[in-house]
Amino acid sequence: MATTFDYSGKVAFVTGAGSGIGRSTALAFARAGAEVAIADIDAERLEETASLIAATGSKVQVLPTDVSDAAQVERAVMATVETFGRLDVAFNNAATFDPHATVDAVELEAWNRVIAVNLSGVFHCLKYQAAVMLAQGGGAIVNAGSVASEIASLGLTAYTASKHAVVGLTKKAALDYATRGIRVNAVLPGAIDTPMAAEFSGGTDEGRAAMVALEPMGRLGNPEEIADVVLWLGSDAASFVTGHAVAVDGGWLAR
């Protein structure tokens, strides 16, 4: 991690922590001194992340969770507080995407699943995290948007709709808690070198090259570059930043 933050004595909660941006951010919190609760629907990958965090010397709690299920999210947040005593910062990162299709061709099952994970999942997290943070007197929440929060994304109908909505939800929550000690922001990654991006590009060299071609900086971003911004948004260095969507996209949205 290029930037140094001090999260000693803090508790972080990260969803989608089994791989990619979520794993890198959970590790960044741990390296910065935080105790970390990690959630993901993929229990095997989650255990891999937990091993990496444990190797840093930080405490970690493993929480297999489907964020589309409100009851599972509530249990995960409450378990975090039961284990660590508090919740200081959360990164709501879990997401999925739908097959390329025009609106008329989108399968309802695909639409419902993407909205359930990417939008309702963020709402579920916000709902229970905010309740804890209100009771303890404050905290910081970062939601994962995307460049698709600002522009239509390459035929991904449900993904585009869900990521636009995440920014709206972020702004609403930020205003709800602006005078109550909780800051809520979003990070908007561009094309980042993750397993999800590889899946999106078809796992081919040609697909990867096409993604690189979309980036003005001429490369894919690293998950650690997103983690840096998430840790900044969650820190006191961003104490007057709330309701903001920060693009970390290599210039994608500047075109």
| One-character DSSP codes across 208-250 | HHHHHHT-TTSSPBPHHHHHHHHHHHHSGGGTT--S-EEEEST
Q: Which of 7, 128, 159, 177 is catalytic?
A: 159
Q: Look up 177 and say whether it is catalytic.
A: no
Q: Which among 57, 65, 55 has a CA at the least distance from the CA of 22?
A: 65
- Taking the alpha carbons at both ends of the chain, their separation in whole angstroms is 28
Asked whether 60 and 34 are in contact (CB, 8 A), the reply is: no
- CA 8, 130, 14, 47 dihedral sign is positive
Handedness of CA 225, 226, 227, 233 (dihedral sign): positive
Which residues does the annotation mark as catalytic? 159
